[in-house]
Chains A and B, each alone.
Chain A
Amino acid sequence: MIGIGPADARYPPRLLDLRCPPDPLWVDGETAPLASRAVSIVGTRRMTPYGARVARELASACAEAEVVVVSGLAQGVDSAAHQGALDAGGKTIAVLGAGIPSYLREARGRRRTLAHAIRASGALVSEFPPEAPPQIWTFAQRDATIAALGELTVVVEAPVGSGALITAEEARRLRRPVYAVPGPIGGAASAGANTLIADGRANALTGVEMLLGVLGLRATPKATSDPAEDARVLELLVATPLDPDAVARRLGLGPTALAATVARLIIRGRITSTPDGRLARR
């Protein structure tokens, strides 16, 4: 772990736009990704399966285009974004709301594994001294740093009062583009993100292609050769995972035809079953 000051050549240039850039910035991992092209992807801890899929897909697309994914290593959307980037073999930066050693000491379970994976392929960064414990105000400050590290910010699912909205607000103050993923009306998990769009404080993000377009990159077109039946199943599963009976009912398929179609899609890795036994897009 090293601490770098604003005068250091390795200091992320985008942070200098902040009113008072962190000094020093503690970095555990690689320093090169701090200066490369980066997108901040943030969102709620209480994500829905839809939010999980979108965060993962956006992060994977960025990673494949060699854009670094910046997020806050919280549960939920943050973790899904980091994981998506790592799964696609990309770099990702986690901005912590506590000192790095103190975070690593306290982290348990999946986030501990994730933190170590990020150190190996990207970096953990923090503006707080090594032994600083997490506080309510450190998270708010960390949210602002996330906005400054990315050239644009994407909000995936944020309820009213979410920390992700602080990131969006800071990105606006820095005059960086803000995008929000629209969610269903009435869904608490998306209420804050929808409000951002309604108030004109964020653009609605319509998909991976749009994000790459904004970054001036071209999406690598994926060969889509799904038979008609498969495509209809995939389309049904866009918003939320469904149980097999519901899929069969909506497509008017018998159990035999459903089993055959689903088997093909599962084997080809297009869909998977969720831990509660429903079908979901991969």
Chain B
Amino acid sequence: MTACALWGLETALVTVEVDVANGLPALVVVGLPDAAVQEARERVRAAVRNSGFEFPLRRVTVNLAPAERRKEGTGFELAIALGILRASGQLRVDVTALCLGELALDGALRPVRGTMPRVRYAATRGVREVLAASANAGEAAACGVEAFGFESLREVIDHLEGRVRVAPTPVPPRAAAPPHPVDLANIAGQETPKRALEIAAAGGHNLLFVGPPGTGKTMLARALESILPPLDDTEAIAASAVHSVAGLIDPRHPVLTARPFRAPHHTASHLSLVGGGSPPRPGEVSLAHCGALFLDEIAEFSRSVLDTLREPLEEHAVTISRAGGAATYPARFVLVAAMNPCPCGFWGDADRECTCLPEQIERYRGKLSGPLLDRVDLRVHVPRVPFERLRDDGRERSADVRERVVAARERMRVRLAATGRRVNADLTVAEVKRFCSVDSETEHLLAEAVSARRLSARGYHRVLRVARTAADLGGSDSLRAEDVGLALLLRSDP
């Protein structure tokens, strides 16, 4: 019998061996099972009995091989039950399919988390057929194998012995892209913040919105969803796999069609943000893989939580080390953060008096210091929109902006094909030199700013990366003076 173990997104095929021998009646599971696997004994015993079979009154030994690998979760129960039935002669055919599923005491088959990464891995190792709970069958079918969905252990046996054949589950249709909650056309004014949003979507640059309360920072951030380019197939599977491990898959539409947009609340713990626990579960940063992570009121997050964001922002992955082993989850996302300029929110406001002391403001802004801010390419002020501008017309719709973003991504893909990078935000210093050359006049001006210490070396490269994206959005191969200007306007280090 074959099952599949999961640790993080790392998978391994597990062979379930069952031996039924003379001795005192017992069911022993060996092969580094965790508590949930040990409990499987009771569920398997009851499920077998309540499905109309006989549980052998002899010594039953179940070995999960390879034995040195720790196994967690309930995904092995179907394989164990089938193994016992086969070893005791109640099932008369051999099973070559991958068996995934948890058993209920009455013999019903229940879905398990992480079906998609397990089946995807098994498919690469030559498995062509999967037996799973009905709710998981669509997920498995999406991975390109023949998947059969069942409601109970009895149905599985009937199918295997050819009494009642079940038809393979069809590959579930991709859900229609959901309507976006906010369209750019819903937002009045805010030309520069919208421009920043477009650059972030196209070039994968992280973005910080700063502005007084009630000016629409959250709404702007939500509009990012509507201008991100569509998911391609590999990205869709990669993102869905993380959702599958977290148990967040919709069984009718197991493959994500829209880029994930995750918005954890500022009281989030670091475990919920970057993942953790034992066995390790993916956190918000991994659920945002291939999409966007929105941290509203970022200065209200606790400092230690924000510090844990450094690894995913730099490595585009999170490694969670536990006694049982280390799990790695991907975490490539666009970070969009929003904050007030000061604790009361009215610093520098022309109409309202700010009540904060300078040192309070400094402490508030200090929450975002150093390494985190280093990974934020764009910072933009979101002003209060004057009333007469609230009724302006001729606003651009998200669909039009998205077309430009898709075109810019395509330019990046062609240019960066040889480097293995996907977006301009990931360019290394050497690649910035290669792909972001500016005319001699602009170069001269930038050099002057660097030597006068008005621009740091890091800031210089960041300006060029952002300018590269701005030029890509404008359909230009060379960086124009206005692209560099915009990048300078939106840079995050003063």
Q: Mark B447-468, 1 if CB is under 8 A from A, else 0.
A: 0110010110000000000000
**Other-chain contact of B192, A48, A79, A245 (Cβ < 8 Å):** A245
Question: Does B52 reach chain A (CB closer than 8 Å)?
Answer: no
Number of A-B residue pairs having CB atoms within 8 Å of each other in the complex: 119
Q: Mark A252-281, 1 if CB is under 8 A from B, else 0.
A: 000110111111101111001111111100
A174 to B99, CA, bound (A): 94
Contact in complex: B359, A75 (CB < 8 Å): yes
Known: A263-B489, A277-B381. A75 touches B494 (CB 8 A): no
Question: Does A243 reach chain B (CB closer than 8 Å)?
Answer: yes
Known: A241-B348, A245-B189. A259 touches B359 (CB 8 A): no
Contact residues in B for A97 (Cβ distance below 8 Å): none
A277 to B454, CA, bound (A): 16
Contact residues in A for B204 (Cβ distance below 8 Å): none
Contact in complex: B192, A266 (CB < 8 Å): no
Known: A245-B189, A255-B191, A256-B482. A46 touches B488 (CB 8 A): no
Contact in complex: B488, A266 (CB < 8 Å): yes
Within 8 A of A (CB), among B252-287: none
Within 8 A of A (CB), among B209-268: 210-211
Pick out which of these stretches binds chain A: B15-23, B24-32, B177-185, B350-358: B350-358
Question: Does B112 reach chain A (CB closer than 8 Å)?
Answer: no
A95 to chain B, nearest CB (A): 19
Contact in complex: B348, A260 (CB < 8 Å): no
Is the interface on chain B under 10, 10 to 19, 20 to 34, or 35 or more residues?
35 or more
Known: A260-B481, A277-B379, A277-B381. A49 touches B348 (CB 8 A): yes
Q: Mark B463-494, 1 if CB is under 8 A from A, else 0.
A: 00000000000000000011111101111001
Known: A243-B192, A267-B448. A188 touches B353 (CB 8 A): yes
Contact residues in B for A47 (Cβ distance below 8 Å): 358
Most buried by B among A47, A48, A275: A275
A188 to B362, CA, bound (A): 22
Known: A240-B348, A260-B485, A276-B341. A267 touches B381 (CB 8 A): no
Contact residues in B for A273 (Cβ distance below 8 Å): 379, 489, 491, 494
Question: Does A180 reach chain B (CB closer than 8 Å)?
Answer: no
In chain A, what residue has the closest Cβ to B208?
A277
A165 to B356, CA, bound (A): 21
Question: Does A16 reach chain B (CB closer than 8 Å)?
Answer: no
Give how many A residues have a beta carbon under 8 Å from the other chain's beta carbons: 42
Contact in complex: B354, A109 (CB < 8 Å): no
Most buried by B among A49, A248, A272, A273: A273
**Other-chain contact of A276, B211, B353, B454, B489 (Cβ < 8 Å):** B211
Question: Does A76 reach chain B (CB closer than 8 Å)?
Answer: yes
Q: Mark B355-376, 1 if CB is under 8 A from A, else 0.
A: 1111100110100000000000
Known: A241-B348, A277-B381. A259 touches B454 (CB 8 A): no
Contact residues in A for B446 (Cβ distance below 8 Å): 267
Question: Does A189 reach chain B (CB closer than 8 Å)?
Answer: yes
Question: Does B423 reach chain A (CB closer than 8 Å)?
Answer: no
Question: Does B312 reach chain A (CB closer than 8 Å)?
Answer: no
A259 to B449, CA, bound (A): 16
**Other-chain contact of B359, A109, A243, A262 (Cβ < 8 Å):** A109
**Other-chain contact of A272, B189, B350, B494 (Cβ < 8 Å):** B494
Question: Does B195 reach chain A (CB closer than 8 Å)?
Answer: yes
Contact in complex: A263, B494 (CB < 8 Å): no
Contact residues in A for B382 (Cβ distance below 8 Å): 243
Known: A259-B485, A260-B481, A267-B449. A46 touches B381 (CB 8 A): no
A sample of 19 cross-chain residue pairs with beta-carbon separation below 8 angstroms, ordered by A number, consists of: A46-B356, A47-B358, A109-B362, A110-B362, A240-B348, A243-B381, A245-B190, A255-B192, A255-B482, A255-B486, A256-B482, A258-B485, A267-B449, A268-B448, A275-B210, A275-B341, A275-B494, A277-B380, A278-B348
- Give residues in A with beta carbon < 8 Å to B: 45-49, 75-76, 79, 109-111, 187-189, 240-241, 243-246, 248, 255-256, 258-264, 266-269, 272-279
Please name the 6 residue pairs, one residue from A and one from B, whose CB atoms are nearest each other, closest first. Answer: A263-B485, A259-B485, A277-B381, A276-B341, A276-B210, A243-B383
- Give residues in B with beta carbon < 8 Å to A: 189-192, 195, 208, 210-211, 341, 347-348, 350, 353-359, 362-363, 365, 379-383, 445-446, 448-449, 452, 454-455, 481-486, 488-491, 494
